[in-house]
Structure 1
Amino acid sequence: MQASASESTASDSTAPEIRVAVDLIVLTLRDGALSVLLIQREDEPHRGAWALPGGFVRHGEDLDGAAYRVLADEASLGSGAVHLEQVRTFGTPGRDPRGHVVSVAFMALGADLPDPERGEDVADARWWSLADLADVTLAFDHAAVLEVAIERARSKLEYTTLAVTFLPGEFTVSQLRGVYESVWGRPLDAGNFHRKATRTEGFLVELDRHAAPTGGRPARLYRAGTGTRLVPPLLRISE
């Protein structure tokens, strides 16, 4: 039976307020290791715990705008420094002790990102390699959020050109292979990878110069091509 207008109004007035937030999984390579930016919370809840940068969406603010604001405030990064994309929405009741908070997780990838400057209401901020997080308990449900984002990054390296976002404008195939090895967490055959990467249409553009010599034969430099998809894909299980 359909509820009356008065019943509907009463029900709406007693419904808990739902707040919307954004959480940022900022990834880069530091000393060859896939690393994530974490902040140490200065306020409750979870005061002193490490967490992903994030914040509530303000009135009149869209989601991308909120994500870029958090990047600037808590990660000291401008909009041009990273590739930003939505990963997933997390809204399980009880995930935040302050109330019913629905969070949109964004993945931000960049090359050689700088050390963060501590923002307001943040006790500390620094990069953590994934290996160093084994014994760290993250605030809220951020361990699960981070896990989802890492798997998204690993998967997207298989069928998109996303790997180049971890690199400077000009790079060698060896550096590109290093991205895949760091993100996937395992070594790849150098010859196999070189053939696949250089023969994939739209992935790389060969340049007429070489990297600075490091003792052996100078490596050819490349830049990112105009493609966004890898056809055929570079599958993890095929190496």
Structure 2
Amino acid sequence: MSEHPPFAVAVDLAIFTIREGELSVLLVERREEPFAGSWALPGGFVQPDEDAETAAWRELHEETGVERFAGHLEQLRTYSAPDRDPRMRVVSVAHVAFAPDLPEPDAGSDAADARWWAAADLLDAEAEAGPDGEVAEVAPVLAFDHAAILADARERVRAKLEYTTLALGFVAEPFTLPELRRVYAAVWGAPPDLGNFRRKVLGTDGFVVPTDSHGEPSGAGGRKALHYRRGAATEISPPMLRP
């Protein structure tokens, strides 16, 4: 008999997009125990014939109806605390992904509901006292260790925007510089200094490439902003530090 008890490998996904100016994450309401009725990141067990990335995309579709999208996807880290899942020992390979304008999800067979939540509401909000003095949560408590995974995922994205051009993964082409700056504001929680932002974006060779078209005027009588597309650059050096 083996000295090592069996355990399962799972995947969890922190999928981000920007909705109404807010960095938003996709959550599902669990249909089954454990944590039935609680909100969680999309995810599930890796099947014997799958690698972790294939399982991540499959679970995303089964739980939310969202198909594989042409955005950024990377492994975040492995979560392996012995008691993270009450059913058995489960090791999760978490992923972080993002893309522009992701659609409203439809809850699949494995979820009771699926929706976008502002990441700040989940991670930064504090309990509020109601008129009767009772304290109520302003956002749901996530199942398993998903609050920690979500916090790590947001920090990964925030950090990467400092030294890479991955902010471009949140905008559809063509885009204007004001639209790109709003990505940084949504992810970081505060906009970068305008002068430094323009110097970094326009001064980094291959960060953005100008086109021949323009966007809408910035205001009454304002000039039309030039449209850009993504360039080939992947790094910003020195980095553009968050406020």
Same fold (TM over 0.5): yes
2:238 aligned to which of 208, 232, 235: 232
* Residue in structure 2 matched with residue 208 of structure 1 by the alignment: 212
Identity across matched positions, percent: 54
SS in 2 for 1:180: helix
Extract structure 1 runs of 4+ deviating beyond 4 A: none
SS in 2 for 1:86: strand
Contact 1:201 / 1:231 at 8 angstroms: preserved in 2?
no
Larger radius of gyration: 1
Q: Residues 99-118 of structure 1 correspond to what in structure 2 (within 5 A)? A: 99-118=88-107
Could you state the TM-score of these two structures normalised by the residue count of structure 1?
0.90
Could you state the TM-score of these two structures normalised by the residue count of structure 2?
0.89
2:187 aligned to which of 178, 183, 186: 183
How far, CA to CA, are the matches of 1:166 and 1:76 in structure 2?
A: 20
How far residue 213 of structure 1 moved from its aligned partner, in angstroms, is: 3.0
CA RMSD across the alignment = 1.3
* Residue in structure 2 matched with residue 131 of structure 1 by the alignment: 120
Do structure 1's residue 223 and structure 2's residue 229 form an aligned pair?
yes
SS in 2 for 1:79: coil
2:67 aligned to which of 59, 72, 78: 78
Q: 5+ unaligned residues in a row in structure 2: which ranges?
A: 126-138
The structure whose residues are more often helix, as a share, is 1
SS in 1 for 2:8: strand
Q: Residues 60-99 of structure 1 correspond to what in structure 2 (within 5 A)? A: 60-99=49-88
Per-residue CA shift, 1:183-227, capped at 9, x if unaligned?
Answer: 011132223211221111121101121113353210011111011
1:55 aligned to which of 39, 44, 55: 44
How far residue 33 of structure 1 moved from its aligned partner, in angstroms, is: 0.3
How far, CA to CA, are the matches of 1:34 and 1:117 in structure 2?
A: 20
AA partner of residue 105 (structure 2): P
Per-residue CA shift, 1:15-39, capped at 9, x if unaligned?
Answer: 2211000000000000000000000
How far residue 130 of structure 1 moved from its aligned partner, in angstroms, is: 1.8
Q: 5+ unaligned residues in a row in structure 1: which ranges?
A: 1-9
SS in 2 for 1:37: strand
Q: Residues 3-82 of structure 1 correspond to what in structure 2 (within 5 A)? A: 10=1, 12=2, 14-82=3-71
How far, CA to CA, are the matches of 2:154 and 2:96 in structure 1?
A: 9
